Amino acid sequence: MPQFVILAYDAKDEDAMERRMNCRTAHTEAMAKARANGNMICGLALLDDSGKMIGSNVIVNFPSRADVDAWLACEPYVQGNVWDNITVLPAKIGDSFKDLIKG
């Protein structure tokens, strides 16, 4: 199954951090579910120089780009208008990290 890298930057308006924090529990639950079903490989928060969260980097495992897009459409940070600028790139996990892929 192909992997994809998602680079998602948060919106920059004055309410962006509040939206992020309001959606955070639903987001982490969605990520845990994706990890449990084998779609999530790794995720992390992107930080600015002061340590403030400004986005996310996620590595996922889906059959197709269409499946990634369908998953993103339901993702709480997308639905909650937290992520403003999202890039999805096809990727391939290195042999040294194949153990991170479930199934």
Domains in the chain and their CATH numbers? 3-93 (3.30.70.1060)
pLDDT score of 101? 84
Q: Which helix (H) or strand (E) holds 68?
A: helix 65-74
pTM given for the model: 0.91
Taking CA atoms, 59 is separated from 19, 31, 37, 49, 103, in Å, by 23, 11, 14, 23, 16
Return d(Cα 16, Cα 38) in angstroms, integer.
Answer: 30
pLDDT score of 1? 85
pLDDT score of 103? 61
What confidence tens digit (pLDDT) does each residue in 29-73 have? Answer: 999 999 999 999 999 999 999 999 999 999 999 999 999 999 999
Answer yes or no: is pLDDT of 26 > 70: yes
Return d(Cα 21, Cα 52) in angstroms, integer.
Answer: 12
